[in-house]
Amino acid sequence: MNGMRHRSADAGAYGRRLSRRAVLRALGGAGAGLLLAACGGDGLDPFAAPSTRDTQTVAPPDPQPAQQAAEVAQEQAQQTEQTQQVEQQQAAQEMPAEPLPTPLVYITPRPTPQGHAVLIIADAPGAGSAAIAWEGEAYALLQEGERFFGFIGIDALTPPGPMPLSIGVWAPNGDQLLWQETALDIEAMAWPQDNIQIDGPNAALLAPEVRNADFEARTPYQRFATPERHWTGIFDPPNEGQITAGYGELRSFNGGPISEYHSGIDFAGPSGAPIIAPGSGIVSWSGRTERRGNGIIIDHGAGVFTGYYHLSEVLREAGDIAERGTAIGRMGSTGLATGPHLHWEVVVRGVTVNPVPWLRLLEAPDPMQELDPVNAITATNLAAT
């Protein structure tokens, strides 16, 4: 089950008020550390030379470099803290006397259907940083203007019910402006079921080892959040073909038990049909696995990725810029495919979510959407009590 994620038993560990320092310390992972590094105000150009991007988009694939990266991340976090302390001292001298307004927090959609991306926004004029605590991890929110935002992916098979989520916002001088504990309400979806017949040599591709090898080859390249947003607005469809299979479909093969869900949507079309980037980003992986055939992954930043599989041809490599509307590959039937089609995925921090809302004007999780303060979450600000 690609990206399947069970509710963590210790999710409640964050059900308490955390200091900014504690939240930042919890950001000890490699990707999170890199994310932090840019929170220091690097002002990275999303389309800068590849050398500066590689370290941010490509996560270390095995534990040894991961540990080193965590140490580097820790150092970066300390440096960031020091830089921030200097900035805070400077800011304190220039700070107006009146207190900063209480940040307004928005979570959409609420309740959250299984298989959906969740957008968390904090409108916080004058604030210096913001983070969320989720499933035992802390993530810094990205800042654009007076708005902080971030995405969470909810797996199609996440158990329905409440899942704790906390949001913190801090002033430039480190004072906590907001600490809010809330919960996502996960709603069950009635996914359709399908049995698929796979005959001939392709049947060997159903082996769990083949599926796991594919998953392990690609997962490091669609998991960590680049601290920039490369796309704007909604995504374009990546292909002109008809959608022939939806996200979430529960699948069994050759009459066996349900073994996975369909982690994306399929577009049908002729072999060789162009596949275009639905939004701008940077290619984080291109390659081939037995199960998925030729594939490519675009990092759109902010933890949002798109993946394209069974291609006859890949037209971009890791590190390349993929501008919205430009060709990145050609439709094919490589890997486990019963005919030419594109398998298209939207991935949020390693979790495959339903791509369809990202194509729809009124449903796409646009972090810059206009929001009515009436719809802000009204709950006790624990930082003020």
Do residues 93 and 255 make contact, with C-beta atoms less than 8 angstroms apart?
A: no
- Minimum distance, C-beta of residue 189 to Zn ion, in the bound complex (Å): 18
Torsion sign (Cα): 101, 102, 108, 111:
negative
Binding residues for Zn ion, total number by CB under 5 A: 2
- Minimum distance, C-beta of residue 299 to Zn ion, in the bound complex (Å): 21
**Contact region for Zn ion (CB under 5 A) — 20-28, 39-47, 327-335, 339-347?**
339-347
- Tell me if 251 contacts Zn ion by CB under 5 A: no
Residue type for position 201: P
**Between 31 and 238, whose beta carbon lies closer to Zn ion?**
238
**Between 341 and 349, whose beta carbon lies closer to Zn ion?**
341
Identify the residue among 20, 230, 251, 343 touching Zn ion (CB under 5 A): 343
**Between 53 and 343, whose beta carbon lies closer to Zn ion?**
343
Do residues 330 and 274 make contact, with C-beta atoms less than 8 angstroms apart?
A: yes
- Minimum distance, C-beta of residue 361 to Zn ion, in the bound complex (Å): 25
- Minimum distance, C-beta of residue 345 to Zn ion, in the bound complex (Å): 8
**Between 51 and 197, whose beta carbon lies closer to Zn ion?**
197
- Tell me if 299 contacts Zn ion by CB under 5 A: no
- Tell me if 249 contacts Zn ion by CB under 5 A: no
- Tell me if 211 contacts Zn ion by CB under 5 A: no
Per the structure block, which two tokens stand in for 185? 């309400």
Give the list of residues 6+ apart from residue 281 with CB closer than 8 angstroms, or none: 230, 231, 298, 299, 300, 301, 305, 306, 321, 322
**Between 147 and 343, whose beta carbon lies closer to Zn ion?**
343
- DSSP assignments along 159-211, one per residue: PSEEEEEEEEEE-TTS-EEEEEEEEEEEEP----EEEE---GGGGGGGSHHHH
- Tell me if 310 contacts Zn ion by CB under 5 A: no
Residue type for position 347: V
- Judged by CB under 5 A, the chain residues 42 through 101 that form the site for Zn ion are none
Phi, psi of 329, deg, nearest 5: -175, 180
**Contact region for Zn ion (CB under 5 A) — 114-122, 246-254, 269-277, 340-348?**
340-348
- Tell me if 266 contacts Zn ion by CB under 5 A: yes
Scored b (16 or more CB within 10 A) or e, 148-166 reads: bbbbbbbbbbbeeeebbbb
Please count the other Cβ atoms lying within 10 Å of the Cβ belonging to residue 10: 9
**Between 214 and 266, whose beta carbon lies closer to Zn ion?**
266
Binding residues vs Zn ion (CB under 5 A) = 266, 343
